[in-house]
Chain A
Amino acid sequence: MMLKIKRVPTVVSNYQKEEAEECARPAAGCGRNCLRSCCLPGAKLPMYAFNKENKVVCEKDLVNNDPPVDFLDSLLLGEWEERMQRGLFRYDVTACETKVIPGKYGFIAQLNEGRHLKKRPTEFRVDKVLQPFDVNKFNFTKVGQEEVLFQFEANENDEVQLFPNAPIDTEHSPSVVAINVSPIEYGHVLLIPRVLDCLAQRIDRESFLLALYMAVEAGNPYFRLGYNSLGAFATINHLHFQAYYLATPFPIERAPSKKITTTNGGVNISDILNYPVRGLVFYGGKTLEDLANVVSDSCICLQENNIPYNVLIADSGKRVFLFPQCYAEKQALGEVSSEILDTQVNPAVWEISGHMVLKRKEDYEEASEEKAWRLLAEVSLSEVRLQEVKELIFEAICCKIEEDKASFEESMTSQSHEDMDGINGSLTCMVPV
């Protein structure tokens, strides 16, 4: 039996139409100025090439140098506002009322009646986290070029450069940043790693590192990136991260945590405490790559064990939250109360982090911390289940480290084991002291 739920997906691109309509259209000369072979040749987009060096996870302390952190911020905000004034968004998100709900954590509610369409719902399979890419469904090669803000790649030189009119390399697909035409907040964009390669929605080391670079490069604690796996409310099976600006703390950022362990690469892994959704937070690392690898290896482990999850990159890339979840399955099995279902809130990464977009006025007026807590509690794995999942993750991280070590040693003559990342001691020391 396949587990499915019915949902009206939000439209992220002006070119996203019903799948049936899609197939009927002839492939050649679509006339939409998209990213496929029909329109791409000769296309040019700005290219932001970031500097990979010196991305140690600590604050830049130069006050008087023009900090490059302002640069990506300016590019993104400027290009987004330009698309805004061009009328590419379905509505002005800043005209949507928003407030912080009184309470300990300050959950954020927004009244947005225009985000969700009054269409017939689509069926989504929620029991498989890994599903193969389907070229017939909507994907990001079908967005209009005007919806793409810039290409985002690592620079070969050790500096930050902006090329205002860079050709798009079809041989080595660039990663791009595109607008979300149904924004949750100002600056809502999609980061699509290697867009032309049509990767399915699943995290890999390289793509996650790119997302982390973007968070660090923006250098703005109010610009966060998020990821939803299939089965955890991703609606498009084409690898993408989301990001937007909101200049107020997210409730999850206020939650206390307790350290479980530290890897040899200096990455700390902590339990999230006193929060309705159980999960892990990762921070530290000697290099950004260390942090990225530990998180992506954890995500890959969840994917391979068919556990849906959400990821939040916060604090300019210094803290990464990982939430395994089970809401979609519960919904499909009819285990969620109708009161919660009626709000039609799909608890994806933003909702779990504490930012709730509500479509009904009464839900907005009556929003309370208690209600938000109750909804999110349905999303969380139980304590017992989370413990099982944590064991899976830690085992996977250790194994990956052993693998890395082995392949590293093959390519080197001799190398001290202390140089490789690993968990201190054996698995038994991960039991909290």
Chain B
Amino acid sequence: MESQLGLIENSFDLRYSKWVHDALDELPDSFTITDPCIHGHPIIFASNGFLKMFGYSKNEVIGRNGRIFQGPETDRRSVMEIREAIREERAMEISLLNYRKDGTPFWMLFRMCPVFSKEDGRVINFVGVQVPILRKMRSSEMTLCENRVGIRESMFKCCRREVCSDSVFDLGHSSSLESVSSYDDRELEINEPCQASELEKTKATAAISNILSVLTHYSELTGRMVGRKRCCFLTGNGQLTASLNISLGRIKQSFVLTDALLADMPIVYASEAFLKLTGYARHEVLGQNCRFLSGMNTDPPSQFQIKKCIQTEQACTVRILNYRKDRTSFWNLLHISPVRNASGKVAYFVGIQVEDGCKNEEDKRALRPETRQLSVVGAVKVAVRGLSIRAAATSTS
């Protein structure tokens, strides 16, 4: 747990400086900030407004994924739409049923916005704002009221359970309304989707603006600047690779992805485990060809075998002597495989490193090392094909 939280604090402070916490704490709104590059896409910041609204303490929320606030009546389609927006790295807005710590459900307007690095156009964070919805009666209910009660007025029902004053009930017509519906009162609230009002949408927009201003400003202090628009032109696979971050972040093994369409096949993705194994930082490996891992005693036949496999677009496994940043060496059971995108053509190569002779803690799971290594190939193939399937449509039109 500690290492995950450590990673979270580190990444957040490195980019925005440690003073950003105070600045964000000054904002009254309910919002969360997540990091898609960390395994599990966890929340790395939760505002006081958020903690109050949901009834959690900070420790209970940081490091968790946003899905913990969903529950049995949360619309699955809406959950899917959020997931897809994250994958496609775009802003979105949706009414969603969430649950507080005490288990009570409530409707809120959820507005989400990606934050891009100005340096390389990757998504660094997602900002999510939650505005509780004060609910207008649905038009179907109004018709019922017309028929049964003969009153045409818009009624406001707060979606929070504890506040339920309804003027129709007050007028003493409650019995007829109740007999119409086969649902009890609580079900009617949570089953009928809520539409947010203009006021609520405006609140969300303002909150997002304020938060992004803070983040932009503080990112200037560290020099690792962010913005709300992707400003870099990412060519070739570039756009795709940026969005692969979340899918590939799910994979725990050491691996790299190289771009088969660019000259000298640079690394475009490196997993945390790879960086840990080799001792390099991410910015030191991105854009480089993998040959930097070879050194004095690396045998040329292995290197040649790799080259040949790549040329013929074949998968292969070689045992090659590689070197870490500190120049210590290790035997790498390297598996390389071509990865095609939705066009059917090879777009990447994936290289998966297994340190020979290293006793992995995952051994006790009894998944054979070869299977584990190949599972990375499979996961990368699925991710690349799925993410590029939309790009395929636009390129042929």
**B residues 248-276 in Cβ contact with A at 8 Å:** 250, 252
Does A79 contact B76, Cβ atoms closer than 8 Å?
A: no
Interface size classification for chain B: 35 or more
**B residues 56-92 in Cβ contact with A at 8 Å:** 63-65, 67-68, 70-72, 76-77, 80, 83-84
**B residues 330-378 in Cβ contact with A at 8 Å:** 337, 339-340, 342-344, 362, 365-368, 370-375, 377-378
Residues of B near A361 (CB, < 8 A) are: none
Does A247 contact B393, Cβ atoms closer than 8 Å?
A: no
B45 to chain A, nearest CB (A): 15
Does B344 contact A97, Cβ atoms closer than 8 Å?
A: yes
Residues of B near A95 (CB, < 8 A) are: 340, 344
A222→B387 CA distance, assembly (Å):
12
| Closest B residue to A161 using CB positions | B366
Residues of B near A318 (CB, < 8 A) are: 76
Residues of A near B383 (CB, < 8 A) are: 247
| Closest A residue to B72 using CB positions | A284
Binds B, one of A5-13, A70-78, A331-339: A70-78
Q: Is B221 an interface residue (CB 8 A)?
A: no
Does A82 contact B71, Cβ atoms closer than 8 Å?
A: no
Does B392 contact A97, Cβ atoms closer than 8 Å?
A: yes
Binds B, one of A171-179, A194-202, A253-261, A377-385: A253-261
| Closest A residue to B65 using CB positions | A63
A97→B368 CA distance, assembly (Å):
32
A97 to chain B, nearest CB (A): 5
Q: Take A99-B392, A284-B72 as given contacts and tell me if A78 and B385 are in contact as well, using a CB distance cutoff of 8 Å.
A: no
Does A82 contact B342, Cβ atoms closer than 8 Å?
A: no
Q: Is A41 an interface residue (CB 8 A)?
A: no
Does A248 contact B377, Cβ atoms closer than 8 Å?
A: no
B2 to chain A, nearest CB (A): 9
Does A98 contact B385, Cβ atoms closer than 8 Å?
A: yes
A70→B376 CA distance, assembly (Å):
11
A80→B381 CA distance, assembly (Å):
12
B139 to chain A, nearest CB (A): 14
Does B80 contact A99, Cβ atoms closer than 8 Å?
A: no
**B residues 378-396 in Cβ contact with A at 8 Å:** 378-379, 381-383, 385-387, 389-390, 392-393, 396
Does A187 contact B378, Cβ atoms closer than 8 Å?
A: yes
| Closest B residue to A56 using CB positions | B72
Does A164 contact B378, Cβ atoms closer than 8 Å?
A: no
Q: Is B180 an interface residue (CB 8 A)?
A: yes
| Closest A residue to B396 using CB positions | A99
Residues of B near A425 (CB, < 8 A) are: 182
Does B72 contact A58, Cβ atoms closer than 8 Å?
A: yes
Does B387 contact A98, Cβ atoms closer than 8 Å?
A: no
Q: Is B176 an interface residue (CB 8 A)?
A: no
Digitize A340-367: 1 where CB-to-B-CB distance is under 8 Å, 0 elsewhere.
Answer: 0000000000000000000000000000
Residues of B near A222 (CB, < 8 A) are: 382, 386
B180 to chain A, nearest CB (A): 7
A143 to chain B, nearest CB (A): 20
Does B385 contact A162, Cβ atoms closer than 8 Å?
A: no
**A residues 50-100 in Cβ contact with B at 8 Å:** 57-59, 61, 63-64, 66, 70-71, 73-82, 85, 92, 94-100
Does A74 contact B367, Cβ atoms closer than 8 Å?
A: yes
Does B182 contact A433, Cβ atoms closer than 8 Å?
A: yes
A318→B367 CA distance, assembly (Å):
27
Residues of A near B381 (CB, < 8 A) are: 81, 94, 186
Residues of A near B42 (CB, < 8 A) are: 63
Does B378 contact A100, Cβ atoms closer than 8 Å?
A: no
Given B40, B371, B382, which contacts A74 in the complex, CB threshold below 8 Å? B371
Secondary structure call for the A interface: mixed
Q: Is B210 an interface residue (CB 8 A)?
A: no
Does A245 contact B389, Cβ atoms closer than 8 Å?
A: no
A71→B366 CA distance, assembly (Å):
10
A125 to chain B, nearest CB (A): 36
Q: Is B4 an interface residue (CB 8 A)?
A: yes
Residues of A near B337 (CB, < 8 A) are: 81
Given A94, A162, A245, A319, which contacts B366 in the complex, CB threshold below 8 Å? A162
**A residues 258-292 in Cβ contact with B at 8 Å:** 259, 266, 283-284
Does B368 contact A164, Cβ atoms closer than 8 Å?
A: yes
Does A78 contact B371, Cβ atoms closer than 8 Å?
A: yes
A164→B315 CA distance, assembly (Å):
25
B362 to chain A, nearest CB (A): 8
A98→B381 CA distance, assembly (Å):
14
Q: Is B171 an interface residue (CB 8 A)?
A: no
Q: Take A71-B365, A75-B375 as given contacts and tell me if A59 and B68 are in contact as well, using a CB distance cutoff of 8 Å.
A: yes
Does A82 contact B76, Cβ atoms closer than 8 Å?
A: no
| Closest A residue to B386 using CB positions | A247
Residues of A near B252 (CB, < 8 A) are: 70
B315 to chain A, nearest CB (A): 6
| Closest B residue to A364 using CB positions | B396
Residues of A near B98 (CB, < 8 A) are: none
- Most chain B CB atoms below 10 A, which of A94, A248, A429: A94
Digitize A129-161: 1 where CB-to-B-CB distance is under 8 Å, 0 elsewhere.
Answer: 000000000000000000000000000000001
Does B371 contact A75, Cβ atoms closer than 8 Å?
A: yes
**A residues 31-56 in Cβ contact with B at 8 Å:** none
Residues of A near B72 (CB, < 8 A) are: 57-58, 266, 284
Q: Is B191 an interface residue (CB 8 A)?
A: yes
Does A78 contact B373, Cβ atoms closer than 8 Å?
A: yes
Q: Is B163 an interface residue (CB 8 A)?
A: no
Residues of B near A408 (CB, < 8 A) are: none
A139 to chain B, nearest CB (A): 28
Does A100 contact B377, Cβ atoms closer than 8 Å?
A: no
B223 to chain A, nearest CB (A): 30
Q: Is A305 an interface residue (CB 8 A)?
A: no
Does A77 contact B80, Cβ atoms closer than 8 Å?
A: no
A89 to chain B, nearest CB (A): 13
Does B182 contact A81, Cβ atoms closer than 8 Å?
A: no
Given A76, A98, A221, which contacts B392 in the complex, CB threshold below 8 Å? A98
Given B83, B342, B365, which contacts A221 in the complex, CB threshold below 8 Å? B83
Does A61 contact B392, Cβ atoms closer than 8 Å?
A: no
Q: Could you list some 20 contacts between A and B, CB below 8 A? A: A61-B67, A63-B40, A63-B64, A64-B1, A64-B63, A66-B362, A77-B377, A77-B378, A78-B371, A81-B374, A94-B340, A97-B343, A97-B344, A97-B392, A98-B389, A164-B368, A221-B83, A247-B389, A248-B390, A257-B77
Chain B residues with a Cβ under 8 A of chain A = 1, 4, 39-40, 42, 63-65, 67-68, 70-72, 76-77, 80, 83-84, 180-183, 191, 247, 250, 252, 315, 337, 339-340, 342-344, 362, 365-368, 370-375, 377-379, 381-383, 385-387, 389-390, 392-393, 396-397
> Which 9 A-B residue pairings sit nearest by Cβ, starting from the closest?
A247-B386, A77-B378, A78-B375, A78-B371, A74-B375, A99-B392, A81-B374, A61-B68, A78-B374
